[in-house]
Chains A and B, each alone.
Chain A
Amino acid sequence: MTRRHVVLRPAGDRAVLVELAGNRSARRLARAAADELAGLEEIVPGHETVLLRWETGRRPPPDLRERIARLLAGADGDADVADAVVFTVRYDGPDLARVAEHCGVSAEELVRRHQAAEYVVGFLGFAPGFAYLLGGDPQLQPPRLETPRTRVPAGAVALAGEYSAVYPAESPGGWNLIGTTDRLPGAVDSNAAFLKSGVRVRFRELPR
């Protein structure tokens, strides 16, 4: 897929799913869309897509594909990115040992490598404040659990496939739990959710 990959897929009357080359393009489009396209009600980045939904009575412009292509060519990367958000973690999750074995490393090595990466929020979904973090070590990509847990505690640090995440609130969950953090990426109590698409994230082991 070339970086110019832009495929428009209709999503009902007033929305379009824009399929792109990858998450970097999705983040770029999501950042720029509000300024460049009038009448948008929702801009929802996914892993390699952005869903654009227009307000009632509005329709996508006929030259949408060209406008998006121009937008992507011109946009800067994750501009005005502040310092990375740091989660301090107790690496004591119930799946830590099993995941390490599955990935062919020791538990200590898994913990070291998880912290070594710099992550970026690819997109949010599943629950308010649940950020899918990209950029992790390619060797640490365990599959989801066959049977999800009915209860994952708030603050659980988890891995599934190419993503890491912090569960912002208690919920069911099928990801592998490797630790816990006390800092919750809440999006409910204030509009100032600190995890948004493009934000950098790091994990640091809590000093013992």
Chain B
Amino acid sequence: MIEVISGGARTTVQDLGRSGYAHLGVPASGAADRAAFTLANRLVGNPEGAAALETTLTGPVLRFGRAATIALTGARVEAVLDGRPIAMDGPVAVRAGAVLTIPAATRGLRTYVAVRGGLAAATVFGSRSSDQLTGIGPAPLAPGDRLVIGDDALGDPVVDVAPVASIAAEPVLRVRLGPRDDWFAPDAVTALLSQAFRVQSQVDRIGVRLGGPVLRWREERELRSEGMVTGALQVPPSGDPILLLADHPTTGGYPVIAVVIEQDLPVAAQLVPGIPVRIRRA
């Protein structure tokens, strides 16, 4: 049992999501930075898809009712356990009664906290993920909440620390053009792939608003609603692209000029308001 003393800015339970229901309007959801999430689980000896916590900028304060093993990955934080700083990217033993404090991230946006055994929250459409768009899944952590530790562990942790590439201060997102790059004038595509953008303040699990060169549609016409994918750069009439993340709506009526490649979705998930970002062809 883990008691939530403080929930942090927005801390949610996530796993690998509930894909396969987009045709019903249900977003896939799941950990926004899959690479960091699965690493955290592997480090504590969990199956990769065990439920864990995902923070947003400022993390929670948690009291562990019993001894546990945890690992922190993703956005860099100087977490403190019982008054002592702990390292990221490796398993950490937690004694019964210990208090873990996760302050504001110093690099990146989302930190993952995996607990050996996983978190035993209720499943909806087969997943414990918390969907910010629809409200499906557990609510974000609030003071007084009690999280149940599951018994999902596989083997013992065998790695002391994983070497992890650092989160770039000026990230680059590699994309494949389409499906609707022909909706835009050629100079819009050129601008997309050559100029810099800046992450705006509107960042959540649904998407990231980017500001920079305005990407004008060729003509004013309506696009009939069509399926969307995570990583899509969707461009409304204003010309400022929205980068879709895990909780994006399953369909949309704005053209998608390009889609971030799978390998760079973790980079997209760590974008913080105010930083520059460049888009380049994969």
Which A residues form the contact surface with B (CB < 8 A)? 9-15, 17, 30, 41-51, 53, 56, 123-130, 132, 187-188, 191, 193, 196-197
Contact = CB atoms under 8 A, between A and B. Distances in A.
Given A51-B226, A126-B25, A128-B136, A46 B179 contact: no
Contact of A49 (B21, B136, B227, B232): B227
Contacts of B221: none
Q: Chain B contact residues: over half helix, strand or loop, or mixed?
A: loop
B178 A123 contact: no
Q: Chain A contact residues: over half helix, strand or loop, or mixed?
A: loop
Nearest to B259: A12
A171 to B, nearest CB: 9
Contact of A51 (B28, B124, B136, B229): B229
Contacts of A14: 262
Interface centre among A13, A46, A125, A197 (most CB of B within 10 A): A125
Contacts of A50: 227
Those 7 A-B pairs whose CB atoms lie nearest each other, nearest first? A51-B227, A125-B251, A44-B227, A12-B259, A9-B179, A46-B226, A47-B224
A42 B25 contact: no
B102 interface: no
Given A9-B178, A44-B251, A127-B25, A17 B19 contact: no
Contacts of B226: 17, 46-49, 51
Given A17-B179, A17-B227, 6 more contacts: A12-B232, A45-B227, A51-B22, A125-B252, A127-B134, A128-B136
Interface in B226-245: 226-229, 231-232
Interface string B1-35: 00000000000000000011111111010000000
Nearest to B24: A187
Contacts of A46: 224-227, 251
A12 B180 CA distance: 12
Nearest to B136: A188
A149 B228 CA distance: 24
B261 interface: yes
Contact of A124 (B25, B259, B260): B25
A48 B179 CA distance: 14
A11 B251 contact: no
A47 B225 contact: yes
Contacts of B224: 46-49
A176 to B, nearest CB: 17
Contacts of A11: 178-179, 227, 229, 232, 256, 259
